[in-house]
Structures are given as structure tokens and as C-alpha cells.
Structure 1
Amino acid sequence: MRFAKTISPIAAAVATLLACAPLAASAQAGPVIKIGFAAPLTGANASYGKDLQNGVQLALDDANKAKDNVIGGKPVTFELVAEDDQADPRTGVQVAQKLIDQGVSVIVGHFNSGTTIPASQLYEKAGIPDIDPAATNPVISSRGFANMFMVISSDAQNAGSAGTYAVKTTKAKRIAILDDRTAFGQGEADEFEKAVKAAGGNLVAHEYTTNQATDFKTQLTKIKASNPDLIFFGGLNPQAAGVMKQMRALGINAQFVGGGGVKDIDFIKLAGDTSDGAMAWEYGRPLESTSEGKTFADRYKQRFGMDVLSYAPFGYDAAMAAIKAMKAAGSSSPDAYRSALKSISFDGITGKIAFLQTGALKNGSSTLYQVKNGQWTAVTTVNGS
């Protein structure tokens, strides 16, 4: 005869608790909110893309550790979904669709204007906010898109400030331009030219190259014939350093001025001795100019084992803008938090984050740097649209 085993009340209670533990942990963890990110993570611009990605990741780390990381009454986890757009417009569009299909609640990206412009058309159609941390062509915020936001100044502000400064402060009499014909480089060059002419400056030459070129002697020889005292380059490193070196090799002693994306340590390394005296206009205020910026730089290095390259603080602010808007709205649904994003205002790492009706950054800033004794040194910061 077989006897049924009896289970004590205590054992039964323990078994029930163990069985429910995974469910309780799952409930406590709450929903996962996907934050999309796109930038070049391979190729010539990969260092900028990775710098941006790290900035976004640091924002998500901070949000996930925060005691108030609750949306709609539930604790949440923010998860980064990163894609490599290779700085290529066609790949950028493919990546955009991939992020949409993965159900992200927001996109932070892209890096290049040439990828941001076509990719953002897909985000607009899908109704998903795209917060731009680095691309600066004025077209981005001029199309009337409801889902386009920028936490960085446009070329109209940055390169415009450069053009005005060249005429009124540097007192350049004969100004020349060289750009790489990308949406970014050409956008900078065009805005610089507009500002020079508006300030009554004298433009003596405007030459073009490509973003793959390494030899600029043909263009620089033509520019040399116009006897310039200042040359503005619209494009990124390492080309900017190559232009600087070849200027000096050809005996051109004009003041070199670069736009955004030129001021980093690679320029000094690549340009060598010729880098001294070079100038570059960068978006935002100097990181070291505020206690928040200094703290960010220290935390970034501790987390990733390297210094901030350039755009990481903008990536951080872009991600935080989305997170704050979602918390304010109590939802990660774009239709629910979009209005909160439009009206958001907070002190970010890069400055005050608030948007115009167009989605452009309100009262952005630009800073002029100059290489002195092998170091980039801030000269002046210009505020305002």
C-alpha cells in the first residue's frame, strides 16, 4: 500500500515564494524602452560615431541608476539599439528603417548631415522623434517636420559666426574658401560665405574637393594665386590637417580657419608643426568652462577609458532630452511625449536645451579655438541664434 507524502505549511510557503520570485523580479524590472542610435561606427568617421554613442550610453546609464527612473508609474530600463550608418546616405536610410522596425521610441542621430537629411524623412513618416546631436546643415530644421529636433547649433549659427568674426574681428581683407561638397562641408562653406558678404568682406576664391581626397594642391594653388590672408575649410579631419600641411608646403601663410569637426587632437597630430596658429569654430561652449562639463569629462574617461573627442556631450543631452520628455508625459509613446519634448527646457552639459518651433536649438552657441603650443585653446564663445 502506497502512502501520499505530506508537505508542511512552511515548505509549501517557501515553494510558492520561489515559484513567484522570477515573476516578481520581472515585474519590478518593468518595461524596456529602446533608444535608437545611428552614426558611422566604421570608416573614416568612426571615432566621431563612437564618441557620440558613448555619450548616449552614459545618459542611459545615469537614467537607469536614477531613483526616479519611472514612467507611467512603472520602473523602466532604457536600452541602446545602435546601428552603423557608415556615413553613407543610402546605408543611413536602410539603418533608419531597421531602427523603426525594431520598435525604438526615439532616435538619437545621425552624425553626418548627408545621412541625417534622408533618414529623418523616414522617421517623420513613422512619427518617431529624431533628436540630432551632430548634423548641422540648416535644411535639417527647415522642412517643417514635427519629429525633428536639434541639440546642436546649425551651420547658419556656427559658420555664420565664423564669417562675421573673420571680417569684423580678424580683419581679413582677402578671404578664400575650400569645401568638400558634402551636405555638411558645403553647408558650412555656404553659410560662411553668406556671413562674409553680409559683413562687407571680400571673397577672392571658392574651390571644391571631395571628402575622400588627400591631395589639395590643385585647389590650393588656385587659391594662392588670389593672395588670400584667410582660408576657411568646410569639412572634417583628417582632411583639414592635410589642407593645413599642404598650405604651408606651398608657401601659403594665410590664417587657416576650420568649421565644426576640426578641433580635435588628431588635427594637431596630423598637421604637426604646421598646426600652430590654426583656428576652428566648434559647436557649443567649452566643456571645461562649467563644473558640469568638467564632471562629465571625468566620468566619461572613467567609464570608457578615453577622453571626450568632440560630440559625446551632445549625444548625452539628446538622450536626456528624450528621457525627460518621456518622464514628463508619463509615456514612451512618441504621440504621448512629443508635445513634452517640444516644450522641454533644462540645463544640459552643452548648455540650455530648449527648442524653437522648427525643432532647432534655441539660443545655441559656438566657440572659436586656436592651437597654441600644441594645444587647442578657447578664444571666444558666441551665443544666440
Structure 2
Amino acid sequence: MVRGLAKVLVAAVVTLGPAQLAAEAKDMVRIAFIGPLTGGNAAAGVGGRNSALLAVQLRNADPAARYTYELATFDDECKPNVGVQVATKAATDRTIMAGVTHYCSAVGIATVDTYARFKLPVVVWGAILPEITYGNDHKQIHRVNGTMINEGKLAASFLTERGFKTFAVIHDTTDYGKGQNKYFSEFLKPAGGEIVATFPVGPDQQDFTAELTRIKELRPDMVFVGGLTPLGVRVRSQMERLGVEARMSGVSGIMTAGFLEGAGPAAEGTISFHNGAPLSKYANGQAFLDAYAKAGFREDPDAYGPFAYSAANLIMDAVEKVGPDRAKVTAELNTTKAHPSLVGEINFDDHRQNVVSANVYVAQGGKWVFWPDSEYAAGRRTLTGR
């Protein structure tokens, strides 16, 4: 049980009762949340912030907690330069003991040295570029979600097994997009697939007429998008307009409510791969959703909200055990094994990377649906290669 989560969530709406009054007498510990709260990836960022804030509210309502907690929020705008600025601001604020950091991989990789320099322990909640954890040996960098290695490997095997053999890749030119292209391409060839064309594009490119016209001529089975939601929406919408018949897939960067809203009916049948399971598959998933609703958040927690929630709780558990000291919290986080959380056990490997597996989702009826539960898997809707 995650700190008696099922019981605590029942009383999720915190009011000025005895628990809160007691909390006011405890020492205050501040933790940071950093993610994209504005811009095209704000849906994921706001969902993550809300989820981390819920974890803090529930902990403050727990009379057994040794400390009371405050969440300091920072908007990295999904831009590396802004991310470094806010990471520096958080890391140099000595009242902040740890951070729940980054959805965008380009920001996550740009900030690792900052956290290490100022000795601020952080737990990444969404960015999936492997190099964030595996490209360094900074003891302050941890990650509860998986990487694009898990997602890319599953994408290659799942898609080829279902008859998709030829692929066109459109990827952005950030570290995130280049990583997507690298890992998907590496796994695709041994799985029996072929990439017939690759198009590197700027993350802010608006018009894809040239790329999609060429793709239409090549007639691949699948367009694989290595980018985040704004890029995915533009590509999928323009595929529809230009009559590109191929299906579209991508990993968790497009698996957001924003993609479904932005692409509209054209999103139907899009495949995505994500390291998280549906909340319904987690023991305390429904309790989390109930508490989230009772807390009054208007925005969806989105695909990575449960990881932000789990990251915040992991940090607070460490503080509860060793006290509000950055070096001690770092050391405690580094020993994480079999730690219960909303998203299952957290087990860090030698690079402080949680060991997780990926899952398949499909856009169906305006929602992201876990593939085994979908009408596509049941054969009531068709999803096949040429």
C-alpha cells in the first residue's frame, strides 16, 4: 500500500481541519516541480503539476507526516534555454530540497549538469531520452518513468507483427527527435521493417507539404513521428488534408489529450507506445482519479501525471526518513528498490533509472485506449498494413 493511499485519498479535499492545523506546526519542506506549463505541451505539464500538487496535499493531510510540504512550480516552456534558467533558479534556492523535473527530453538533458553542480536531487517524471540517466553518472539524477529504448523496441516489434513493413520517419531535430529516430531505426531492421525515407524537421515547422507529398508518392504503410504533441498534430492533420493513406504512430510524446483535441477525428487509429499502464491496471489507480477529481483540478492528469505523483511521493518519503538535507535525500533516493508507488514498484538500476516496460495504446473514439482493451485488438475495428 502506498502510505495508506486508499484511505488517505478518500479524504482528498483538504480543509482547515485538525490535520491541517497540526501541519502548520511542523517544519516546512519545499520541493520543486518543473515542466511545460505554457505552450504546445502544456497539457502534459499541467497534468503533471496537478498530480504532484495532489501528492503534496495528501501528504499534508496525513497526521503521521513529520513535515509539511510546499510545491514550488516552475515553467520550463519545453525550451532548453528556459529550462536551464529555471533549473538554476530552483537549484540555487537552498530552501528547495529536491525537484520533480521535466517532461521534455530536450530540457531534461540540458539541465542535468545544473542539478549536479548545485547538488539538487531530482526525479524526472516524463522526459524519456535515455542519455538523461545513462549519459552521465550524476548521483542527483533519477527517473521514475522509462525511456525511448523501451518504447522504440516495442514500437518496432508491435507494428511489424501487425503487417506494417515500410515506414517513413518524420522527426524533430532536438535531442528528443533525433533519439526517437535512432532507437526506432535500430530496432526496426531486425524486426523485419524498412525505413523508406527519413525527414528531419524543425520542432516549430508548420508546413509539411513537401515531406508529405514525397511520402504519398512512396506509399509507406506507416508514418512514424519522432516528436511531441504539436508536431504530431500538424503532421496528422496535414496527412488527412493531402490524402496520405498511411497510418501514423509515435511514442509517448504524442500520447496526450492535446493530440486528440488538436488532430480531432483524424487522430483515430493512431498508435502510441508509453511506459505507463492505464490507471485502471494499478491497485490505487481509481483512488488516485477520485482524489484528483475531488481536489477540483479541471485538467486531465494526462499520461505522465501518475509518474509526477509517484516522483513527488518518492521524494517526500525520502525526506520523511532522513530529513530535509539534500545530500541525505540524494543518498536515500539512490538506494531505491522495491519502493511501492502509484505506478508500481520503483527499482532504480545503477544509473538511477527505474526499470519499467512499455505498453501499446490506440486513439479510439477520442480517447487513448489500452491496446488489449481496444476494439482494434478485438477485431471490431481494422488496423492493418498494406
Deviations 1:67-113 (A, max 9, x none): 2211xxxxx11111111222221121111111122211101112211
> 1:64/1:146 Cα in 2 relative to 1: closer, same or farther (>3 Å)?
same
Report the equivalent of 1:319: 312
Letter in 2 for 1:50: V
Q: Judge conservation of contact 2:282–2:343 (CA < 8 Å) in 1.
A: no
Counterpart in 2 of 1:18? none
| Deviation (angstroms), 1:236 | 1.7
**Contact in 2 for aligned 1:301/1:308 (Cα 8 Å):** no
Instruction: Report the CA distance between 1:360 and its aligned residue.
Output: 0.9
Give the structure 1 partner of residue 166 of structure 2: 174
Shift of 1:224: 2.4
Work out whether residues 233 and 258 of structure 1, in 8 Å CA contact, stay in contact via their aligned partners in 2: yes
Q: Cα distance 1:81–1:372, how it changes in 2: closer, same or farther (>3 A)?
A: closer
Cα deviations by residue, 1:193-214 (Å, 9 ceiling, x for unpaired): 1110232321111112222122
Unaligned runs of 5+ in 1: 1-24, 71-75
- In the other structure, the counterpart of 2:179 is 187
- Match of 2:302? 309
Give yes or no for contact 1:300–1:307 (8 Å, CA) kept in 2. Answer: no
Offset at 1:27? 10
C-alpha RMSD of matched pairs (Å):
2.0
SS in 2 for 1:353: coil
Instruction: Figure out how many residues of one structure are paired with residues of the other and give that number.
Output: 349
Higher RCO (C-alpha 8 Å, min separation 6): 2
Matched, 1:354 2:350: no
Which of 268, 288, 307 is 1:296 aligned to? 288
Number of the residue aligned with 2:242:
250
CA contact (8 A) 1:166 1:196 kept: no
Deviation at 1:114, TM superposition (A): 1.2
Normalised TM-score (structure 2): 0.85
Residues 208/96 of structure 1: CA separation in 2 closer, same or farther (3 Å cut): same
2:63 matched to which residue of 1? 67
Change over 3 Å in CA distance of 1:374–1:83 after alignment to 2: closer
- Aligned partners of 1:306, 1:39: CA distance in 2, in Å? 15
Matching residue's letter, 1:58 = L
Conserved? CA contact 2:46–2:301, under 8 Å: no
Q: Supply the distance in 1 between the matched residues of 2:46 and 2:57 (Cα, whole angstroms).
A: 16
TM normalised by structure 1 equals: 0.85
- The AA in structure 2 aligned to 1:48 is A
Give, in whole Å, the separation in 1 of the partners of 2:331 and 2:345. Answer: 18
Which letter does structure 2 place at the counterpart of 1:157? Answer: N
- Of 30, 33, 37, the residue aligned with 2:29 is 33
Structure 2 gap ranges (5+): 1-20, 374-386
Q: Which residue of 2 aligns with 1:161?
A: 154
Structure 1 counterpart of 2:217, from 211, 225, 230: 225
Question: Which residue of 2 is the match for residue 88 of structure 1?
Answer: 79
Q: Give the CA deviation at 1:242.
A: 2.2
Deviation at 1:59, TM superposition (A): 0.9
Q: 1:211 to 1:59 in 2, by over 3 A?
A: same
In structure 2, distance between residues paired with 1:271 and 1:370? 14
One-letter amino acid of the structure 2 residue matched with residue 235 of structure 1: G
CA distance in 2 between counterparts of 1:277 and 1:249 reads 16
Deviation string, structure 1 residues 31-88 (Cα, Å, up to 9, x no partner): 2111012112222222222111111111111111112211xxxxx1111111122222
Which amino acid is 2:271 matched to?
M
After superposition, the C-alpha distances for 1:329-377 in whole angstroms (9 at most, x for unaligned) are: x222122232321222323222221211101112x12221112333322
**Superposed CA offset, 1:247-281 (max 9, x none):** 23322211211211322333233323322211111
Distance in 2 (alpha carbons) for counterparts of 1:258 and 1:319: 28
User: C-alpha distance in 1, partners of 2:23/2:310?
Assistant: 29
Taking only the aligned residue pairs, the percentage that are identical comes to 29
1:201–1:190 Cα change, 3 Å: same
C-alpha displacement of 1:316: 0.5
Query: Structure 1 120/60 Cα, relative in aligned 2: closer, same or farther at 3 Å?
Result: same
Would the alpha carbon gap of residues 374 and 126 (structure 1) be closer, same or farther in structure 2, given more than 3 Å must change?
A: closer
Q: CA deviation at 1:183?
A: 2.1
